[in-house]
Structure 1
Amino acid sequence: MHTHPHMTLDNDYVLYLTLAMIAATFIIRFAVIGMAGRFTMSERFKKTLRFVPVTVLPAIIAIEILGKGSNFAFNLENPKVLAAIVCTIISLRFGLIWVVIGGLASLILFQTYLDPIIAFIHHLTCC
């Protein structure tokens, strides 16, 4: 059996790693912004680029909410699914800050109280 050495994450390591990620992100973004004026893009390409955030963000969010592989849980016993439903309902009427506040509050409530409520309902229905 092969064992992997465990690396401890001390404060210096986390700080240097964070600074390296900041630098890498800045360099990549600066390079793209710096090159943007050097070539022309067709109108079709510009229109296509506008759909990238709209398609990527839901994919990232869906994986986080539903899980993946054997952890996939698309049911009303998943607190993240319930919080996403609350966020969707709030977004129909209120602004983004209320969606964030409502989503965080509902997620905390569902993660804290959903299991006892489900256990109580199962106890009532089975006996």
Structure 2
Amino acid sequence: MKTGNKEMIPLLKEVMRRRGRKPSQFAKDIGVSHATVSRWLHGLDTPKPASCEKIAEYSGEPLVKVMAAAGYMPGVEATPADSLPEFREYAQLKYPEDLDEDLVQVLEDLIERRRQRRWTAETKEA
């Protein structure tokens, strides 16, 4: 059993936050047990490469980033979740006069719904 990597926990929490999913829902979405996700979140285990691929597909994150966070790519630095601007921050900087908080929330929700539809369609095809 590979012990969890410190970059994986914030990445998983960020994916669940963006998707509005609880650990049990996230586990079901990517096809693993709730206990497995719990071990990942507590740093007791690390996702296997196949699970990293599912996490990358589900989250829209590059596979390289997920694999690096899991510790499978030692030469590649995982980008910390807080070093990239959130969509909300980017939108408010780019369109300060045009977007209010409610509109930004609507856009985030639409993006996540589209990701969920795409993920659902891709998993049904497989």
Highest Rg: 1 or 2?
A: 1
More helix by share: 1
In the superposition, the TM-score normalised over structure 1's length comes to: 0.28
Give the alignment's TM-score, normalised by structure 2.
0.28
